[in-house]
Amino acid sequence: MRASKRSVNTAIDILQNVFGYPSFRQPQDEIISTLLDGGDALVLMPTGGGKSLCYQIPAMVLPGCGVVISPLIALMQDQVNALRLLDIKASFLNSTLDANTANEVECSLLAGQLDLLYIAPERLKQERTLSLLRRSPIALFAIDEAHCVSQWGHDFRADYLLLNMLHQLFPDVPRIALTATADARTRSEIISRLDLTEARQFVAGFDRPNIRYRISLKQNAKQQLLHFLQDEHPQDAGIVYCLSRKKTDEIALWLQQQGFNALPYHAGMDAGSRAEHQARFLREEGVIIVATIAFGMGIDKPNVRFVAHLDLPKTIESYYQETGRAGRDGLPANAWMIYGLQDVIKLRQMMESSQAVEEHRRAEQHRLNAMLGLCEITSCRRQALLNYFDEILARPCGNCDNCLQPVATWDGTEAARMALSAAYRTGQRFGVNYLIDVLRGANTDKIFQFDHHYLPIHGVGDSLDTNQWRSVFRQLVARGYLRVDLERFGALRLEDKCRPLLRGEEQIELRRDTKVKAARQKTKTLLPDDIDVKLWEALRDCRRELAEEQGLPPYVIFHDSTLRDMCSVLPQDLDQFSELSGVGERKLQKYGPAFMRVLREHLHEVQS
């Protein structure tokens, strides 16, 4: 069955008049047609690519209610408020509702009075919920954050494993599973576990060209972060990721002492504090959240201007997903990270201490090695990042640190052989610091204790200083020539890959680490040169006042990109205002007059 011309036209009408966008992005139209046809879909679309429209519009076109399964209880209220602002009949069912309110929502669903209903996956365990859904007119099921079904991922939710029941209990209701992050293995797992073997697959591409990727060696983490924020994001909203809860609290407090509006967020905090900090981040301007990976999934804030990592993520999937929370509005944003060998040791300690099966641990080790490879690469980072997701970028991107400031390299073949020999000849029982002492010819008590001052490699590396040797060892670990033996307290052991290098059959080029400078490559300015900054700030003030009056995040009123359009186009009346991207009929009626007053006052000042 093909979607009728009438239903397709209705979808376009909703896009333009309700959501205020002139046309669909590819492949939104095909996805929507698939659901209108009654088919299933698996959608991989980058953050900010418009995934939600792919199920919201069909839910409004088809008879019945679109049921959205989402793990994001803390964000459901904001999502529903944003839809209600557009006069879309939306609600949610989760554990935050009292019995009377939940009963009202259930009655609305049974009566066919809802376009969209958001529910948490654990609610599907309840027979009461399943009975309610069986008795209700259902248009479609949308499974958001579908990668949560993957037992290999850090966002795994056991309740997602139950969602294959939807196909069994509601075989005629179309389903759509959506995620921004999934490699081939995760995609296969989603299809298998959610019973989506017949679903059409839509991969919209992973590239986020507005994000600038930058990765540096960790030297003085706090000062490096401070320079980055002061130079490039002194008043911007952003996220700083740390590996531990303790570090999260410490960095948040330290940033507050430096004058930044910074708040911690991690699973060790009570639920009330987490909810308060998340709400402040969404509703206030210029808030920095310092968080563990517990924060961020499903965050809709479009004007996050940077994501900073003070520790190495476990996988490229994690890195891509976390950095993808920056620049959802399509405007310039930064993905900034610093890392060191100690990060690798910490992550491998966490992996070794996990209770996971051996296959899972091997897979995690492989993914960590890929993450290290991205850090140490000397060519375009975006090409490497996209290649991991099987997407080819034909040319270097011109918007990552390696493209903007090409990396200096040096022939590290001889130094690498010395380092490998030092690890081998000392019995593969010692860590980096000791091996550097041996190579540089130190005469410590420990070296004399083990008679290593007699070894031929003792003192052969005195031409390199300690930091240079640290760089050599870090890169050899990152490239898989050495591994860290955690059972021997960080001892370095040789991998099979090192044999050709030791035998003289292979050469190796290493990055030349340089001292990180305070002066940074500036991000492209948020505002074009021809935009009046005074008008921009007046429009932001208008938006903030309206948001505070209604208890909404400012971006729910209008995105920054719509404010930029107001500044550029300078609409003369409501008819012209209605043509701006993101201005639908409801927002035109509700907010158009207020913003037009600001625009008219600006024009009056300019002309007088």
Q: What is the pLDDT of residues 13-49, one digit of tens each?
A: 999 999 999 999 889 999 999 999 999 999 998 877 8
- Kindly state the average pLDDT of the residues 347-359: 70
For residues 196 and 179, give the distance between their C-alpha atoms in angstroms, rounded to a whole number: 14
pLDDT of residue 571: 93
For residues 352 and 244, give the distance between their C-alpha atoms in angstroms, rounded to a whole number: 17
pLDDT of residue 388: 87
* pLDDT at 85 > cutoff 80: yes
- Kindly state the average pLDDT of the residues 488-503: 88
* pLDDT at 526 > cutoff 90: no
pLDDT of residue 125: 81
User: What Rg, from alpha-carbon coordinates, does the chain have?
Assistant: 27
Helix and strand totals (H; E) in the chain: 26, 17
pLDDT of residue 356: 67
Q: What angle do CA 486, 488, 492 make, to 5 degrees?
A: 75
Q: What is the DSSP letter of 400?
A: B
Taking Cα atoms as reference points, which of 82, 83, 155, 157 lies closest to residue 124? Answer: 157
CB atoms within 10 A of CB 569: 13
pLDDT of residue 529: 66
Cis peptide before 27 (omega within 30 of 0): yes
Contacts of 524 (CB under 8 A, 6+ apart): 332
* pLDDT at 604 > cutoff 50: yes
pLDDT of residue 3: 61
Q: How confident is the model over 316-331, as pLDDT tens digits?
A: 988 998 999 999 988 9
Q: What is the mean pLDDT of the chain?
A: 89
Instruction: Walk me through the domains of the chain, giving residue ranges and CATH numbers.
Output: 5-203 (3.40.50.300), 211-404 (3.40.50.300), 409-511 (1.10.10.10), 533-607 (1.10.150.80)
Q: How many residues does the chain have?
A: 608
Which contacts (CB < 8 Å, 24+ apart) does range 228-232 have? 228/306, 228/308, 228/334, 228/336, 228/520, 229/255, 229/260, 229/288, 231/518, 231/519, 231/520, 231/522, 232/306, 232/334, 232/520, 232/522, 232/523
- Kindly state the average pLDDT of the residues 210-230: 94
* pLDDT at 518 > cutoff 50: no
Q: Please tell me which of 158-172, 240-254, 361-375 the model is most confident about, judged by mean pLDDT.
A: 240-254
* pLDDT at 552 > cutoff 90: no
